Amino acid sequence: MAKKISGAEYQLAKIFSSEFDYVIPSYQRPYAWTVDQTSELFDDLYDFYRTELDEEYFLGSIVLIKEEGIPYSQVIDGQQRLTTLTILLAAMTHLFSDEMKSDFNNYIREPGRVSQGLKPKPRLALRDLDRDFFAKYVQGLLFDELFAFDSTSLGNESQRNIQTNSRYLLEKLKEVFDGDNSKLVDFGIFVVQRCSLVAVSTSTQHSAFRIFSVMNSRGLDLQPTDILKAEVIGQLGKDKQAEYNERWEDMEVELGRSGFNDLFSYVRMIYAKEKAKRALLEEFKSQVISKISTPVALIEDVLEPYADALAIVKHANYEASSNAQDVNSYLKWLNRIDNSDWIPPAILFLAKHKQEPDYVLWFFHRLERLAACMHVCARNINERIERYSRLINGLDKPHSMKSPVAEVELSDAEKMAMFQALNGSVYELTARRRNYIILRLDAFMSDGAAVYDPSVLTIEHVLPQTVNSESEWSKIWPIEEQRLVWTHRIANLVPLNFRRNVSASNYDFERKKIAYFGGKKQVSSYVLTTQVLNTPAWTVEYVEKRRLELMSVFADKWNLTI
């Protein structure tokens, strides 16, 4: 049977009425709007109020889990706006007097009606950690007491945002209306009668999240991790919920909201060892949670160790008494790869062997080579997932520095494919792939001492792509077939760290070195380019010799010999 979905546009007078009893579920993120978003909302409202005398202002949409005819409404999307609008209504109510104060207070709090079974209560209940604070100081109109708090003494960032936005809106109302109560009343009437929201309601959580996922709203995205948090923390006893809620949020702060959501995808891969076939929420429950004995074990033994490892991997900040610098260098190169499929085996290894710096160095040296091989050889996602699954399976077996994990090593076929790709027309690869190859080679030749900024990188040809028949190049390279063979190969390419001058690309070799490759200071920060600057002639024989030298560097540093 299809789940009924209803949606309608309501004036704020109806949105903040006894027809809706809003509750922010515990899995929702905290109230996060700052003065930036709050000021934008107020300015939009006030400008519309001043310039559009008869039109209605549309505030967007909210998504609710709500049974038809029953006020109780779980807010899936829209809590940031509902909270900020409540603050605005409370600030206006605070400034009103007599009948208007009593009238507007009804938009903030349900006054209760015994005959209808309605009890006095706030119309909006924030998540548990902020509910009482918001009800007392904002919905209770105790702004003077709220502003008296030192912001550093408040319990969390959400409460500090509530204080800051309340102060901003109250001061803004005083500033723009300058004590003119009649104009403030007129603005208040505009807000509740001419401003509207679309409320989309459905009775099931699944349907509500499906609606939310396809709607473009002004709220902050709800992630699958928010749902998992509610379920996991909800299974704990009341005496443990506060502690583990804080530990959960500490991980989210450390990794960032997007990174924290990625963590769950990586953990799912570690457990499932295959490409995801269904939504993350569903797969994490079936592939991970079902295999963990308790919620405490999930947080302490799985999420926290992997979150710590992920932070190290993404920030390249491994710490140890030895090898840390070299390990972090490999991590930086791994983070230049055009996919993150290497991360699950990386965090699986690091979570278990972080305290073994020699083994950590050995492993990441080989993992970077494996990831580079698939990057250079343009392996598709299915090929990558299958290859990393083999590695994860290997990591699940006993291994140590004395008997290291074999699955991270390249096979002879992989070495051959990688060598052939590096020895081919590198320039014709995608920009991400060719840039990685050139910069990695340059780093190998500088013993890792160079620092690169890929945002200003261009890859240029020494022998031009187009040779004018009257140029010196046509005399040095008279055979077109030879030019076609060598133009796009590694030996003929150099990295530059400034915008290219198209007209200079066809200069003769000596002029090109001076006017182009050397830059304004006639030096280069790249070893590869410096070598070209020190080369007297760019002949077929020299380029072939250079190819052999460069390929031997790859073969040595990445151990591509068979």
Position 2 scores a pLDDT of: 47
State both tokens at 282.
């569903």
pLDDT number for residue 449: 54
In angstroms, the CA 146 to CA 250 distance is: 26
In a shared domain, residues 137 and 249: no
Same-domain check for residues 456 and 483? yes
* One domain, residues 176 and 81: yes
- Structure tokens of 78? 């829209």
CB 91 within 8 A of CB 169: yes
477 with 463: CB under 8 angstroms? yes
The answer to whether the beta carbons of residues 81 and 89 sit under 8 Å apart is no
- In whole angstroms, what is the distance from residue 108 CA to residue 12 CA? 11
Q: Which pair of structure tokens corresponds to residue 225?
A: 């991790």
* H-run or E-run covering 76: strand 72-77
Residues 193, 210 within the same domain: yes
Q: What is the model's pLDDT at position 292?
A: 94
H/E stretch holding 549: helix 540-557
Q: What does the pLDDT profile of the chain (562 residues) look like in tens digits?
A: 445 777 789 999 999 998 999 999 887 788 989 887 898 899 889 988 988 777 889 898 888 888 888 899 999 889 999 999 999 999 999 999 888 999 999 999 988 776 666 678 999 999 988 999 999 999 999 999 999 998 878 878 899 999 999 999 999 999 999 888 899 999 999 999 999 998 888 877 766 666 665 544 344 455 788 888 888 988 888 888 889 989 998 998 899 888 999 999 999 999 999 888 777 888 899 999 999 999 999 999 999 999 999 999 999 999 999 999 999 999 999 999 989 999 999 999 999 999 999 999 999 999 999 999 999 998 888 889 999 999 999 999 999 999 999 999 999 999 999 999 999 999 988 888 999 999 999 999 987 555 666 556 788 889 988 888 888 999 999 999 999 999 999 999 988 876 555 555 677 888 877 766 655 555 567 888 888 888 889 999 999 999 999 999 999 999 998 8
Residue 386 lies in a domain: no
| DSSP codes of every residue in 416-438 | HHHHHHHTS-GGGS-HHHHHHHH
Residue 484 domain flag: yes
The answer to whether residues 259 and 154 belong to one domain is no
* Structural domain includes residue 347: no
What pLDDT is recorded for position 35? Answer: 85
Same domain membership, residue 197 and residue 75: yes
Question: Is residue 123, in this structure, part of any structural domain at all?
Answer: yes
Give the closest residue to 35 by CA, choosing from 141, 224, 169. 169
In 3D space, the residue among 306, 407, 397 whose CA is nearest the CA of residue 354 turns out to be 306
Residue listed under structure tokens 């349907």: 207
Residue from 444, 448, 455, 436 nearest 327 by CA: 448
Local structure of 177: helix, strand or coil = helix
Domain contains 365: no
| 214 shares its domain with 72 | yes
Residue ranges of alpha helices (H) inside 378-479 are 381-395, 412-422, 431-445, 472-476
Q: Which two tokens stand for residue 351?
A: 């979570």
Q: What is the distance in angstroms between the CA of the first residue and the CA of the last residue of the chain?
A: 62
Residue 438 lies in a domain: no
* Of 294, 309, 324, the domain-final residue: 309
Q: Is residue 164 part of a domain?
A: yes
**387-427 per-position pLDDT tens digit:** 999 999 999 999 999 999 999 999 999 999 999 999 999 99
Report the C-alpha gap between 222 and 205 in whole angstroms: 13
Range of the domain at 212: 5-221
Contacts 24+ apart (CB under 8 A), 113-122: 113/18, 116/18, 118/18, 121/21
- Token readout for 156 is 């969390």
Tokens of 402: 């004395």
- If asked whether residues 187 and 290 sit together in one domain, one would say no
Answer for the pair 254, 263: CB distance below 8 angstroms, yes or no: no
Task: Note whether 12 and 213 are within 8 A (CB).
Answer: no
Query: In terms of domains, do 210 and 248 share one?
Result: no
Are 473 and 502 found together in one domain? yes
Question: 82 in a domain, yes or no?
Answer: yes
Cα-flanking dihedrals φ and ψ of residue 110, to 5°? -70, 120
Looking at the structure of the chain, the number of domains it has is 3
Is 182 in the same domain as 72?
A: yes
In this structure, the answer to whether residues 209 and 257 fall within a common structural domain is: no
| Residue that is last in its domain, among 262, 286, 309 | 309
Point out the domain boundary residue: 221, 243, 262: 221
* 372 CB neighbour count, 10 Å cutoff: 24
- Angle between helix 79-95 and helix 98-108 axes, rounded to 10 deg: 160
- What residue type is assigned to position 554 of the chain? F
pLDDT tens-digit profile of 505-530? 677 888 877 766 655 555 567 888 88
User: Which letter does DSSP use for residue 459 in this model?
Assistant: E
